[in-house]
Chain A
Amino acid sequence: MTMQFNDETFRGDYTYFNSETAINRFPFPFDQDTYMYSVNIEQHPGGPKGTPFEKMFDVDEHYVSEMKDREITLAEDPLRCQSLPHMELAGWDLLELIMVSKAKDYPDLFKLTRDGNDWHWVNKPLGIEKKFTFLAPTTLPCGPMEYITRQTQGDFALLHERDGNLWMDAGMVTSQADWSLDFDVGMNFFEWHAPVPKAKKMGVFDKALKFLLSVNQGQHYRRLNWTMTVNPRLDTSPENYHKWGPEKRTITPENVGQKQFLRVELQTFFRLPRSNALAFPIRCYLMNLEDIATKPKWGRRLHRVLRDIDPDLADYKGFAVNQEMIVNYLSQFDDGAPTSPGIFPES
């Protein structure tokens, strides 16, 4: 295996770290010095070599540890993975999409051999080898969506299309930005987005839904979203808010650079063939302010974005209480120089 996987934790002692390679390929989400909601959609995959946009499902140095963290979360709370009965077929579609893509994109890590519906899957990083029958649920230890998403970084929502809307009828959600799958499963697009401030008034959701409904088989798309998290914690769920909430108040001017993380979601959209459902993977990338500031453009820009952001959004994204400390810390990296367009650092 060519890729090195970090031995690290996303809770407790928080030993998570980004190598220089990971810093260089971080999907910094701001393409300008200000931020407001937008649909900001691009075709996927596709992007400079080495970036997380290059492959269908990005695998990076955090893979093995993220999967261990998911296992811990699921053991404590199995309701983080849910699939309403009619979504099993979409689960198989997702399993196929991921296995086929990973085996093609990372041949030294994953291998898939198919003879009709007799499949043989090898996942070297996680030490898994499994022969099973495609579309036959009893041949896997759990449902197909759960099986494959225990082996794939990021959260997953599977959306059922009906009545001109999308319904979140299945998902695997263990690294979410403070929303509950167990509570939201079965909701339509407008219902599960209901708590998001301002966006409805701006018509963002109408446009986004219209776009999503028009995603066809064979066309895939992506967008970036972001929030702020104290400590490199994947499980910032409402379920455990009483456990991670207090950590939000441990930020000081001395530790903000290390403890305050920018949390980026690489969201992708795929139309699944047999179920006609939409797969909505939400991949989370974490990087602390200190590491972000190693790229002068990112340091300048993040300072400006967080300083000038709409107060409602600072509140919704959960960093209003620490905003002043964050902005003060970042100001040392902002000399007022102009920044270049686009998200990539100036190399």
Chain B
Amino acid sequence: MKLALKVTEIEQLSPLVKRFRFEDPKGGSLPVFSGGAHITVEMPEGEIIRRNSYSLISDPYDGTAYEIAIRREDQGRGGSLYMHTKVSEGDEITVSAPSNLFQLDLRARKHVLIAGGIGITPFLSQLKQLDMELKPYELHYAARSRAEAAGIKLLPEAAHVHVHISEEGARMDLGAILDGQPLGTHVYTCGPDGLITAVADQAARLGWPKTSVHSEAFTAPPPGEPFEVVIASTGQTVSVKADQSLLEALEAAKVEVDYSCRGGACGRCHTKVTACDGRILHNDHWLSEGERAAQKDIMPCMSRFKGARLELDL
């Protein structure tokens, strides 16, 4: 399901982060959503359409608008740059219906939310949901500096919202955060891989069950060298440009692939490889180490290829 919306507000939250507000052009109501949900935004440029997924930061039960916050990635393949430089208030924009790969487990006795940098975004909708559902939680938001902590503007001032600015010497102490939480607590992390791993390791050291530890790490697909793939069923060759993801190239060539997060997290675009002469550059969070090494599977939303021939079971 696609929604054709209008950009009604753009706000510079920090030097690198902008907030975008999208509304129905006719003032209609948009589908409401659950905390932690994302939408996929279409960014047409010339012949290609880039699609990036961004967490919704607005009130999940409010259908009047969707809001997202995007950090400008100058080294990226162009999605965030497009949003920062080409999109203005009043423009039309096409987005997907909300989808959630990072939902709260509403059974939890308590929720601990840990954000690093731009990883604050999914928590902004989650904490609205937690407030509305009257669930106990604490949020920890770590950033290098106040200038970089774009989320501060969007956070409520509350005793259970903690901001850790490392430049100010207030580093986040994961041991102190996780130790002694009541049985039935769930922890959620979004941010750099290092933070996600650190929280998972700390939780494991404290004997937390794996199913109580959640994370979302999806990022935009990285650019790279151009490459080609062959579609096994048709023999068709599909070229992937440097600033295009394999998934986007397949879509442009009308090869049907299912997808959701477009960030290597959900597993939906998982594709079998029927022949591989070269090296798959795995950039996803879905495949296991073993699967990566075997080179028999690829996540086209994130991963690329270097070598002579890659044939996909499509």
| Contact present between A and B (CB < 8 A) | yes
Chain A: minimal CB distance from B8 (Å): 21
Q: Quick check: B31 and A276 within 8 Å, CB to CB?
A: no
Asked if B78 lies at the interface with its beta carbon under 8 angstroms from chain A, I say no
Residues of A in contact with B, size category: 10 to 19
Main secondary structure of the interface of A (DSSP, over half): loop
Interface residues in A155-184 by Cβ distance below 8 A to B read: 160-163
Which listed segment binds B: A210-218, A261-269, A284-292, A299-307?
A210-218
Task: Across the interface, name the chain A residue whose C-beta is closest to B60.
Answer: A274
In the complex, what distance in Å separates the CA atom of A173 from the CA atom of B1? 31
Residues of B within 8 A of A161 (CB): 103
Q: Quick check: B34 and A274 within 8 Å, CB to CB?
A: yes
Residues of B within 8 A of A216 (CB): 1, 97, 99, 260
In the complex, what distance in Å separates the CA atom of A160 from the CA atom of B34? 13
Q: Quick check: B260 and A276 within 8 Å, CB to CB?
A: no
Chain B: minimal CB distance from A233 (Å): 36
Chain A: minimal CB distance from B111 (Å): 12
Residues of A within 8 A of B268 (CB): 214
Q: Quick check: B31 and A273 within 8 Å, CB to CB?
A: yes
In the complex, what distance in Å separates the CA atom of A185 from the CA atom of B273? 40
In the complex, what distance in Å separates the CA atom of A214 from the CA atom of B260? 8
Known: A86-B107, A275-B106. A214 touches B258 (CB 8 A): yes
Name A86's contact: one of B60, B99, B106 (CB within 8 Å). B106
Q: Quick check: A276 and B1 within 8 Å, CB to CB?
A: no
Asked if B211 lies at the interface with its beta carbon under 8 angstroms from chain A, I say yes
Asked if B98 lies at the interface with its beta carbon under 8 angstroms from chain A, I say yes
Asked if B131 lies at the interface with its beta carbon under 8 angstroms from chain A, I say no
Interface residues in B29-73 by Cβ distance below 8 A to A read: 31-34, 37, 60-61
Known: A161-B103, A218-B97. A273 touches B32 (CB 8 A): yes
Residues of A within 8 A of B97 (CB): 216-218
Asked if A89 lies at the interface with its beta carbon under 8 angstroms from chain B, I say yes
In the complex, what distance in Å separates the CA atom of A84 from the CA atom of B106? 11
Asked if A219 lies at the interface with its beta carbon under 8 angstroms from chain B, I say yes
Residues of B within 8 A of A163 (CB): 211
Q: Quick check: A162 and B99 within 8 Å, CB to CB?
A: no
Residues of A within 8 A of B260 (CB): 214, 216
Name A89's contact: one of B1, B37, B133 (CB within 8 Å). B133
Known: A216-B99, A217-B98, A219-B1. A274 touches B33 (CB 8 A): yes
Q: Quick check: A217 and B106 within 8 Å, CB to CB?
A: no
In the complex, what distance in Å separates the CA atom of A218 from the CA atom of B106? 22
Interface centre among B33, B37, B100, B132 (most CB of A within 10 A): B100
Task: Across the interface, name the chain B residue whose C-beta is closest to A84.
Answer: B107
Asked if B105 lies at the interface with its beta carbon under 8 angstroms from chain A, I say yes
Name A276's contact: one of B61, B100, B132, B211 (CB within 8 Å). B100
Q: Quick check: B32 and A274 within 8 Å, CB to CB?
A: yes
Known: A216-B99, A218-B1. A273 touches B107 (CB 8 A): no
Known: A214-B258, A218-B1. A274 touches B61 (CB 8 A): yes
Chain A: minimal CB distance from B285 (Å): 14
Chain A: minimal CB distance from B50 (Å): 20
In the complex, what distance in Å separates the CA atom of A346 from the CA atom of B129? 52
Q: Quick check: B211 and A275 within 8 Å, CB to CB?
A: no
In the complex, what distance in Å separates the CA atom of A298 from the CA atom of B151? 63
Interface residues in A213-253 by Cβ distance below 8 A to B read: 214, 216-219
Chain A: minimal CB distance from B117 (Å): 25
Name B37's contact: one of A218, A219, A276 (CB within 8 Å). A276
Task: Across the interface, name the chain A residue whose C-beta is closest to B135.
Answer: A86
Chain A: minimal CB distance from B145 (Å): 34
Q: Quick check: A217 and B1 within 8 Å, CB to CB?
A: yes
Name B31's contact: one of A85, A160, A218 (CB within 8 Å). A218
Interface residues in B12-41 by Cβ distance below 8 A to A read: 31-34, 37
Q: Quick check: A273 and B133 within 8 Å, CB to CB?
A: no
Residues of B within 8 A of A275 (CB): 34, 106
In the complex, what distance in Å separates the CA atom of A251 from the CA atom of B260? 52
Residues of A within 8 A of B107 (CB): 84-86, 160
Residues of B within 8 A of A274 (CB): 32-34, 60-61, 129
Chain A: minimal CB distance from B250 (Å): 18
Interface residues in A44-103 by Cβ distance below 8 A to B read: 84-86, 89
Chain B: minimal CB distance from A198 (Å): 27
Residues of A within 8 A of B129 (CB): 274
Residues of B within 8 A of A214 (CB): 258, 260, 268
Residues of B within 8 A of A84 (CB): 107
Task: Across the interface, name the chain A residue whose C-beta is closest to B32.
Answer: A273
Known: A216-B97, A217-B99, A218-B97. A276 touches B34 (CB 8 A): yes
New A-B contacts (13) at CB < 8 Å, excluding given A89-B133, A161-B103, A218-B31 = A85-B107, A135-B61, A135-B132, A162-B105, A214-B258, A216-B99, A217-B98, A218-B97, A219-B1, A273-B33, A273-B34, A274-B129, A276-B100
Q: Which residues of B contact A (CB under 8 A)?
A: 1, 31-34, 37, 60-61, 97-100, 103, 105-107, 129, 132-133, 211, 258, 260, 268
* A-B contacts, 27 listed (Cβ < 8 Å): A85-B107, A86-B105, A89-B106, A135-B61, A135-B132, A162-B105, A162-B211, A163-B211, A214-B260, A214-B268, A216-B1, A216-B97, A216-B99, A216-B260, A217-B31, A217-B99, A218-B31, A219-B1, A273-B32, A273-B33, A273-B98, A274-B32, A274-B60, A274-B129, A276-B34, A276-B37, A276-B100
In the A-B complex, list the 9 residue pairs whose CB atoms are closest, starting with the nearest. Answer: A218-B1, A86-B106, A276-B34, A218-B97, A86-B107, A276-B103, A276-B100, A217-B97, A273-B32
